[in-house]
Amino acid sequence: MGTSVVLAGEIGAPYLKLASLRWMTLDRVDTQLWTNQGFYTVDKPQSGSMLVRRDGTFGRSIPDGKQLPALSADEMAYLLDKGKDPVLIVGVGGGREVRAALRQGHHDVRGIEEDVTFARNIMRGSQREWSDGLYDKPEVDVSVGGARNYVRHNKATFQRIFVGYYDTQAASPSGSLAAIPNAVFTTDFVQDTLAALVPEGTLTIMRPDAEVDRVIALVAHALRAQGSRAPGAHMFGCSREKLSTVLVKRTPLQSDELSTLRTHCRRHRFAEILSPDAVKDEARRALMSGLNPAGLPIGQTSDLRPPTEDRPFWFHAVPQGRVVATLRDVRGMVERHRTLLVLAAGAAMAAIVGLLALFVSLALPSRFWGYQSRIPVTRSSMTLGLIAASIVLFGHAFVGRMTPIVGRPDAAVLLFPLAFLLAIGLGAGFARRFDEDDLRAGLQRWLLATTFFFAPLMMGLDAILSVVVDLPLLARIGIPTLIIALVGAGLGAGLGLAVRTASTWGVRASANAIAQAGVMAAIAMLLGTLLSMTWGYAATLLAGAAAMVAAIMFAASARVDVPHAPAVFEPLSAGDTASDDEPVTSDDHESSSRAASV
């Protein structure tokens, strides 16, 4: 239905209009746009800006191009070495940071925007006039793609790099975006960004006040990884209107620079939150040192582990050690962690349904299934369910882990799932090559082969992707697609063999197995998301591998009908009676013939 709506809405003109959407009314919308990434809306102008939403959330502002934006805390970076080009804006969005750079006298402002729809269809399309053609100004050069790929492949060095609060302005008390990763705020990206600065260059990051400690931990870890012994000496921060700005200089900040920054913040009534020479909070001082934040008191309510590409930045911020305690606090989840509540409640309900299906297969009498086959039916349904769970876990982890490497999320979210599903379908086609008496052995062989391929792949996945990220776009798409397809083919073969095995036990057994597969796939989808948010994609891949090994152990034999020799009747002789007219097998007939010939 959703696909039909998207296609119908974009043929000729988007004539399909929704009446309302969560948290907004569409009578206040200026533009509606259906895309493969979601439903985009642009609000009508209000207070000098338009708000762009995706599926009713993920708000990004487009300020009026004919008005100068209000002074923001992140502009304090321009106080150091004024006027030196070029400047890089990560996440251009509506262009507030670009306009600030132009206001400060820069003539070489470069930007990177990851959202293709936002850049091409909105900023260079429907809202080009409202933004005063910002993306196409001669002083501005905006590229579409991934930020990390741009920084690594661009040979230029920058005086200033800004990472604004571009991802959402509605990150949501409802928690609707908590399960959406942000690949920009990772240790790898910050290290690459610092390396792209000139020696006296600055990196500026703006985030909500609630996330400032996570930003400090991330930056301090990246600085220490690059050899800094005192990461805190590189940082200064201030806050305004619940948004904090952390300025990071590649070299330590000098006393006169700190004085300039502090004076600027006081003049404009920004609240100073971070300074290497005036840190009153001992926990934050320890955080600025770049040491492991696990033992800090501040880490008890927020996950301060530096994000990586395997475990990127999530709005979900429950510390790893407090996940179980948070799950026990239902009221707390309702108030502060609704995404966690949805994942846990959904997994619990699916588990109840799965246990019910398992109970049905074990409790019903054997005659219901036929052939005295209660245990094989249960094992075949569990096998199919475990394979379905491993498919969901592998798909979620591989797509999430490899999408930032490509640098084009619009292409990755289409190609990777498509390649994975096609490979599963092709692999399932191999199931017809096996005889029924060889289905169990074939299933185990295929899954074992997939396991032996997957084990070394997982151990070297980070090394492989660290090489792939520097390759051209086609290679960045092709190599991950090949990896996903190979794993998908092995899982598909196991899936096809499991379906054939279940079908040999009858229609009821097949229905039970399919129900179990659907339930376990739902559980895997929910728990896989929770695993990725808390422990990373590697943990999700391990869970998928464990499900695959369990499927090998549960694999049941197919029901094979043993053919009986046909009965052969001998003609009556004169001495035979009716009672002697008994069926004789072909073997008996041949024995009698040989005896007669002798």
Question: What is the C-alpha separation between 150 and 36, in angstroms, rounded?
Answer: 24
Comparison of pLDDT for 54 and 422, the residue scoring more: 422
Q: How many CB atoms lie within 10 A of CB 332?
A: 15
- Please indicate, yes or no, whether residues 280 and 378 belong to a single structural domain of this protein: no
Query: Residue 103 corresponds to which amino acid?
Result: R
- Tokens (6 digits) for 193: 């960004």
Domain boundary residue, one of 539, 554, 569: 554
Confidence at 556, pLDDT banded by 50, 70, 90: confident
**Burial of residue 239, with CB atoms counted within 10 A of its CB: 0-12 exposed, 13-18 middle, 19 or more buried:** buried
- Please indicate, yes or no, whether residues 55 and 80 belong to a single structural domain of this protein: no
338: left (phi over 0), alpha (psi -120 to 50) or beta: alpha
- Please indicate, yes or no, whether residues 40 and 164 belong to a single structural domain of this protein: no
Q: How far is CA 424 from CA 208, 388, 487, in A?
A: 42, 11, 9
Q: How far is CA 170 from CA 38, 56, 69, 131, 466, in A?
A: 16, 10, 20, 21, 33
Average pLDDT over residues 258-283: 86
Which residues are 88's β-sheet partners? 110, 161
Task: Express each pLDDT in 354-387 by its tens digit.
Answer: 888 788 777 777 677 665 577 888 888 899 999 9
User: Which is nearest to 162 in space by CA: 118, 196, 116?
Assistant: 196
Task: Express each pLDDT in 503-533 by its tens digit.
Answer: 888 888 888 889 889 999 999 999 999 899 8
Whether the pLDDT of residue 536 is over 70: the answer is yes
Taking all residues of the chain, what is their mean pLDDT, rounded to a whole number? 82
Question: What is the C-alpha separation between 409 and 37, in angstroms, rounded?
Answer: 9
In a domain, 562, yes or no: no
Question: What is the C-alpha separation between 242 and 15, in angstroms, rounded?
Answer: 40
Query: Residue 92 corresponds to which amino acid?
Result: V
For the stretch 228-235, contacts whose Cβ atoms lie closer than 8 Å and that sit 24 or more positions apart, written own/partner, are: 228/290, 230/276, 230/289, 231/288, 231/289, 231/290, 232/276, 232/279, 232/285, 232/288, 232/289, 233/276, 234/276, 235/274, 235/276, 235/288
Whether the pLDDT of residue 13 is over 70: the answer is no
Task: Express each pLDDT in 147-193 by its tens digit.
Answer: 888 888 887 889 999 998 765 544 443 455 667 788 888 898 999 99
- Which percentage of the chain shows pLDDT scores above 70? 83
- Please indicate, yes or no, whether residues 421 and 527 belong to a single structural domain of this protein: yes
- Please indicate, yes or no, whether residues 199 and 283 belong to a single structural domain of this protein: yes
Question: What is the C-alpha separation between 517 and 389, in angstroms, rounded?
Answer: 7
Question: What is the C-alpha separation between 36 and 116, in angstroms, rounded?
Answer: 11
For residues 556 and 437, the answer to whether their CB atoms sit within 8 Å is: no
Average pLDDT over residues 117-122: 88
User: Which is nearest to 202 in space by CA: 249, 244, 157?
Assistant: 249
Task: Express each pLDDT in 234-251 by its tens digit.
Answer: 999 999 888 889 999 999
- pLDDT in the model for residue 425: 93
Instruction: Name the strand (E) or helix (H) holding 38.
Output: strand 38-43
Comparison of pLDDT for 124 and 171, the residue scoring more: 124
Whether the pLDDT of residue 420 is over 90: the answer is yes
**What total of structural domains would you count in the chain?**
3
Cα–Cα–Cα angle for 259, 236, 91, rounded to 5 degrees = 130
In a domain, 98, yes or no: no
Average pLDDT over residues 255-272: 90
- Please indicate, yes or no, whether residues 79 and 211 belong to a single structural domain of this protein: yes
- Tokens (6 digits) for 473: 């776009």
Question: What is the C-alpha separation between 523 and 39, in angstroms, rounded?
Answer: 27
Omega prior to 404 cis, within 30 of 0: no
Listed range (15-29, 82-96, 237-251, 497-511) with the worst mean pLDDT: 15-29
> 3 in helix, strand or coil?
helix
Whether the pLDDT of residue 265 is over 60: the answer is yes
Q: How many CB atoms lie within 10 A of CB 87?
A: 25
Question: What is the C-alpha separation between 271 and 442, in angstroms, rounded?
Answer: 67
- Please indicate, yes or no, whether residues 78 and 225 belong to a single structural domain of this protein: yes
In a domain, 527, yes or no: yes
Whether the pLDDT of residue 343 is over 80: the answer is yes
- Please indicate, yes or no, whether residues 162 and 189 belong to a single structural domain of this protein: yes
- Please indicate, yes or no, whether residues 81 and 51 belong to a single structural domain of this protein: no
Task: Express each pLDDT in 200-214 by its tens digit.
Answer: 899 999 988 888 888
- Please indicate, yes or no, whether residues 357 and 476 belong to a single structural domain of this protein: yes
Instruction: Name the strand (E) or helix (H) holding 23.
Output: none
- pLDDT in the model for residue 439: 84
Q: How many CB atoms lie within 10 A of CB 28?
A: 11
Confidence at 570, pLDDT banded by 50, 70, 90: low
- Please indicate, yes or no, whether residues 405 and 491 belong to a single structural domain of this protein: yes
In a domain, 94, yes or no: no
Question: What is the C-alpha separation between 382 and 377, in angstroms, rounded?
Answer: 9
Which residue range forms the structural domain that includes residue 11? 2-63
- Please indicate, yes or no, whether residues 292 and 395 belong to a single structural domain of this protein: no
In a domain, 348, yes or no: yes
In a domain, 547, yes or no: yes
In a domain, 577, yes or no: no
In a domain, 92, yes or no: no
Question: What is the C-alpha separation between 455 and 461, in angstroms, rounded?
Answer: 10
